[in-house]
Amino acid sequence: MEIILILGAVATVAVGGWVYREIFSARGRAKRALRKAPRVPIARARDGELAKLGGTLRLADAPVTAPLTGRPCAFYQTTVEQRRGSGNSSRWVKIIDERDFSKALWIDDGTGQALVELVCPQVVLTMDNHFSSGFLSDAGPELEAFLARHGEASQGWVFNKTLRYREGMLEEGERVTVLGLCRWEPDPDPAAASGAGFRQQAMRLRVVCPAGGELLLSDDPSVV
């Protein structure tokens, strides 16, 4: 009976954590908003409209580099959690949450292209790179250097700390979805202007953060 109660308590905590992440957290709210919004082809987006667009990502600016994998990308998030406590009272505590992003990215859905400004975006990432270190498993030099940059170390007083590392990123060629305010504007690219034709102004779509809201961006296939 005692084992059943313990397993039930563990399951309750796990379910509670999932419910918070997927429903009540900022991540959960962003995913619901992205799923709820109907997708609009880029060519049919209207000026001043809050729209959900999707397409293949292309870098528009100098990329940032994800610290654990060393891969160039438009956005990355890297987290480290430490297992603290023992037995039934142990828990994972986030000790590092680092993110960085370039100024903008392009998305292309076949009907057109849109320039997405990355100004304080709310990004829902698939954290698909996982690492760990702990007892009899030393952290590699990349992990150790990342920890040191944040004033942390994998080694405790006697043994290694039990750590797990996760990293997600938005990379060139990846399928992404964005929900933001659409603005049509003259295209400053001379090549676009030369291809627009006589007496015709070349235009481009720019997606920005709506006033008083957030620009939502994700590579999660479930929000397409």
pLDDT in tens, the chain (224 residues): 555 444 444 333 433 343 444 455 899 999 999 999 999 999 999 999 999 999 999 999 999 999 999 999 999 999 999 999 887 889 999 999 999 999 999 999 999 999 999 988 999 999 999 999 999 899 999 999 999 999 999 999 889 999 999 999 999 999 999 999 999 999 988 776 555 555 578 899 999 999 989 999 999 999 98
Does residue 19 form part of some domain?
no
Give the Å distances, CA to CA, from 71 to 100, 204, 208.
13, 29, 26
- DSSP structure string for 199-212: T---EEEEEEPPTT
Q: What is the pLDDT of residue 143?
A: 96
Asked, for residue 20, whether it belongs to a domain, the answer is no
Quick one: tokens of 184?
A: 């049509």
The answer as to whether 11 is a domain residue is no
Query: How many CA atoms does the CB half-sphere of 56 hold within 13 Å?
Result: 8
Q: How far is residue 141's CA from residue 1's CA, in Å, rounded to a whole number?
A: 46
* 9 within domain boundaries: no
Is residue 47 classed as helix, strand or coil in its secondary structure? coil
Q: Which structure tokens are listed for 76? A: 């990355």
pLDDT at 21: 46
Q: Which helix (H) or strand (E) holds 115?
A: strand 113-117
pLDDT score, position 46: 97
pLDDT of residue 207: 98
CA distances from 161 to 92, 101, 154, 212 (A): 12, 29, 5, 42
Residue 2 is predicted with a pLDDT of 54
Residue 5 lies in a domain: no
The range of the structural domain enclosing residue 85 comes to: 38-223
The total domain count for the chain is 1
β-pairing verdict for 203-208 and 113-117: parallel
How much is the pLDDT for 36? Answer: 96
- CB contact burial 65-76 (16+ within 10 A = b; e otherwise): ebbbbebbbbbb
Hey, what amino acid is at 103? K
Q: Within a domain: residue 29?
A: no
Question: How much is the pLDDT for 162?
Answer: 96
Does some domain include residue 211?
A: yes
Q: What is the pLDDT of residue 191?
A: 73
Residue 14 lies in a domain: no
Q: Residue 96: left (phi > 0), alpha (psi -120 to 50), or beta?
A: beta
